[in-house]
């Protein structure tokens, strides 16, 4: 079984995280207060099948608008889940406030999305096939009358940034642009880069923004693995339009960049505005 290095050292004998949890069963109660002047956004729990039989769970939110909305598809990090985009960062809500429809998915083996054939142990092949979960989302989105399926972006944090890059390269006709936040995934023994689209036919990544902190690193023995260097390697294989931004003196990882580095957040939304 393969072993993987991500922001933490992950061994892919990893039992599926959170499969027994039910986000839909959660209820929030509070005092009976009058409504304030804030805006409310409907967010629904949805699901759709991948073409290899995995039922992908997701959270779909929309803003009220008189025109079709561009869509941002959000991908979590290794060991994460779709609700991270709501609970651990302001990004989901910030996108809604700017008039995007937002779809955050649980990739296979995470959250409420099972592994193929109901396996219980996440393997490297599951990470390599996670672009199929993105494809399932892209097939489902045309059923939503309020979205503009010609304007879809995919955004990934951590190893989800790898999957965003691979998805863009594998489905450039369906994904207009993408953002990869601190991409990086390495084999624990070989330290070789993983989930980079190697071996995929018709692989042509383009229109990607890569962002990483220059101090975001993993120490493995005598070797230092850099997320900024990983982002540079992916950017070099990406066709225009593309941009790489490495933030000095920052160890922020993934969507932490958007929450903690003002320049990163500005660049993120500017990229979407100009390319989506």
Report domain extents, the chain. Answer: 3-13+41-275
Q: In the predicted model, what is the mean pLDDT of residues 29-58?
A: 81
Q: Mean pLDDT, the chain, as a whole number?
A: 89
Query: CA torsion, points 148, 99, 24, 133, in degrees to nearest 10?
Result: 40
Please name which of 248, 218, 221 lies closest in space to residue 230, comparing C-alpha atoms.
218
Q: Are the C-beta atoms of residues 219 and 207 closer than 8 Å to each other? A: no
Greatest mean pLDDT range, 21-25, 61-65, 195-199 = 195-199
Q: In the predicted model, what is the mean pLDDT of residues 50-76?
A: 95
Distance of CA 176 to the CA centre of its chain: 15
Q: In the predicted model, what is the mean pLDDT of residues 42-50?
A: 96
Architecture of the domain delimited by 3-13+41-275: 3-Layer(aba) Sandwich (3.40)
| pLDDT over 50 (residue 21) | no
| pLDDT over 90 (residue 15) | no
Distance of CA 263 to the CA centre of its chain: 20
Query: pTM for the whole thing?
Result: 0.88
């Amino acid at each position: 079984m393969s072993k993987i290095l991500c922001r933490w050292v992950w061994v892919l004998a990893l039992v599926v995280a959170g499969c027994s949890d039910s986000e839909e069963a959660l209820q929030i109660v509070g005092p009976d207060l009058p409504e304030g002047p804030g805006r409310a956004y409907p967010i629904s729990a949805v699901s759709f099948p991948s073409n290899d039989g995995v039922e992908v769970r997701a959270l779909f939110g929309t803003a009220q608008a008189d025109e079709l909305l561009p869509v941002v598809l959000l991908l979590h990090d290794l060991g994460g889940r779709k609700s991270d985009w709501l609970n651990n960062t302001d990004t989901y809500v910030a996108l809604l406030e700017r008039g995007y429809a937002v779809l955050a998915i649980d990739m296979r083996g995470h959250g409420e999305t099972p592994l193929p054939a109901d396996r219980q142990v996440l393997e490297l092949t599951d990470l390599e096939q996670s672009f199929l979960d993105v494809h399932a989302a892209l097939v489902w989105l045309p059923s939503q009358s309020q979205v503009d399926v010609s304007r879809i972006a995919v955004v990934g944090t951590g190893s989800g940034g790898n999957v965003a890059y691979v998805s863009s390269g594998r489905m450039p006709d369906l994904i207009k642009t993408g953002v990869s936040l601190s991409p990086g995934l390495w084999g624990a023994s070989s330290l070789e880069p993983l989930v980079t689209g190697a071996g995929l036919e018709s692989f042509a990544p383009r229109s990607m923004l890569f962002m990483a902190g220059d101090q975001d690193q993993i120490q493995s023995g005598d070797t230092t693995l850099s997320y900024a260097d990983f982002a540079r390697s992916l950017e070099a294989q990406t066709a225009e339009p593309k941009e790489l931004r490495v933030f000095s003196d920052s160890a922020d990882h993934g969507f932490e960049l958007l929450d903690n580095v003002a320049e990163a957040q500005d660049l993120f939304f500017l990229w979407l505005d100009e390319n989506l």
